[in-house]
Amino acid sequence: MNIADRIYREAQALPEAQAKEVLDFLEFLRNKLKKTAASETKGTSNADALPGFGMWADHDEMSDILVPSQRWRANMQGRSN
């Protein structure tokens, strides 16, 4: 029995409301997969699809977001020693 058959069998045993939730989730996953495939085809990342990321593109302090967290970790490790 493959995964799709198992999903079908499990969904049949659910009350209608919960089966609808499962269907909604499956549709969400399918749409997410389509968006990911489309962004890979275009050569873009998912960040381009999220409006919050673009507004930081021209800020120099955001050029390497890992630096502040690495400094913080180093500082915290120094305190624990």
* Residue with token string 């089966």: 19
Residue 49 has pLDDT above 60, yes or no: no
State the amino acid at position 53 in one-letter form. Answer: F
* pLDDT: which is higher, 17 or 61: 17
Are 53 and 63 within 8 A, CB to CB? no
Q: Is the pLDDT of residue 63 over 60?
A: no
In this predicted structure, what is the pLDDT of residue 6?
94
Rounded to 5°, the CA angle 14-15-19 comes to 65
**pLDDT tops 80 at residue 78:** no
Give the global pTM.
Answer: 0.45
Arithmetic mean of pLDDT, 51-60: 60
